[in-house]
Structure 1
Amino acid sequence: MVIARTATYTATYARAELIKLQVERVLSRSSRDRDFVRRLLLGVDRRWIKEISVYGLDGDGACHVELFIKIDWERNALHLSAGRDMVQVDAGWDGGVSTEIDLALQKFELVARELGLRKVVHSRYAAGVDRSRANRELGFRNADPVQWRSGFYGTTMSIPELDEVTVGVNLAGQG
């Protein structure tokens, strides 16, 4: 006689904390500067930062790969106003981090490692944020735009359980 057992696993997180966990996973693999990561997470916590990009740059400063995470704060506000401040996730979420984040990180890391690229992190503020004040309080400065080696193409993935967050990877073209 064969007996099959199925076990399910779910965990519940506060929506705001789950967003920060996604960002923190990306940053933990992208920056060794703990103070910088702390300040970026503070900007996310204050809903000032809507996008974080990690670029893989070659020795000439040309970008070959980008990993980005975007947060739609308006969509987040809709969830909160509807009482959806808690999010339930299943076993596919490793330590509160979505499969989509992990897949994007794996692709980014593979390209960066194969090409020996250095990582640079940029962030973009949400509409309406006083950039001068935010830069002062977070200790940030305006950055020059990244120059791609030769155009780019990529993919964006929505995180179903946390649909205000998207993650994607862009790769330099073959030009």
Structure 2
Amino acid sequence: MAIARTATYTKTYVRTELIEMQINRILARSTRDRDYARRLLLGIERRWISEISVYGLDEAGTCHAELFVKVDWNRNTLHMSAGRDTVQVDAGWEDGIATEVDLALQKFEMVTRELGLSKVVHSRYVPGVDRAMANRELGFRSADPVQWRSGFYGTTMSVPELDEVTVGINLAGDG
């Protein structure tokens, strides 16, 4: 007689640390400049940055792909004020990384590798942040907008356990 046994696994994280872990994974796979990644994470920690985009650019500097992660700090504040400062995740979160983040990162890396694209990382501030002050403190400067090869299409995924975080990917369309 065969006996089936099911085991469940959960782990609890501090909400803000879990957000930083998602972004750190994306940055670790997207830039070799550890100081730049550290400054981006400082901007996240201070709640100045609401979005980070990694663009895949060809030799002419034209964009073919984008991986982005957005943090809704207003929603995060609601969670924190309601006492939801920890998040419990299951085994689908390998090493504390959401499946949605992992899937978007895998697709982006596949496209950039196949097309031989270089990666560049941009960030966007939360509305109302003093950009000049934040740029001084983080050592950033305004960047020119990315020029897409053609129109783009993509998808955005919400992370259910961490619903203030969305991740997505955009790819250049044919044309």
Task: Give 1:116 shift.
Answer: 0.2
Aligned match of 1:82: 82
Q: How does 1:141-160 map to 2 (within 5 A)?
A: 141-160=141-160
1:163 deviates by 0.3
d(CA) in 2 for partners of 1:8, 1:51? 33
Q: Where does residue 114 of structure 1 map in the other structure?
A: 114
Gaps of 5+ in 1: none
Mapped to 2, the partners of 1:15 and 1:129 lie a distance apart of: 22
**How many residue pairs get matched?**
175
Q: Unpaired segments of 5 or more residues in structure 2?
A: none
- 1:104 is matched with which residue? 104
Which residue is equivalent to 1:53?
53
User: Which of structure 1's runs of 4+ aligned residues deviate more than 6 A?
Assistant: none
**Corresponding residue number in structure 1 for 2:171:** 171
Length-normalised TM-score, structure 2 = 0.99
- Counterpart position of 1:31: 31
Letter in structure 2 aligned against 1:95: D
**Counterpart Cα distance in 2 of 1:47 and 1:12:** 22
Matches of 1:17 and 1:25, distance apart in 2: 12
**Fraction of identical pairs, as percent:** 76
- Residues 81-124 of structure 1: CA distance to partner in whole angstroms, max 9, x if unpaired? 11000000000001110000000001000000000000000000
d(CA) in 1 for partners of 2:111, 2:16 = 30
Mapped to 2, the partners of 1:95 and 1:46 lie a distance apart of 24
Task: Let me know the Cα RMSD of the aligned residues.
Answer: 0.4
Distance in 2, matches of 1:114 and 1:163, equals 32
Distance between the aligned counterparts of 2:128 and 2:90, measured in 1? 35
Deviations 1:106-143 (A, max 9, x none): 10000000000000000000011110010001010000
Q: What TM-score results when the alignment is normalised by the length of structure 1?
A: 0.99
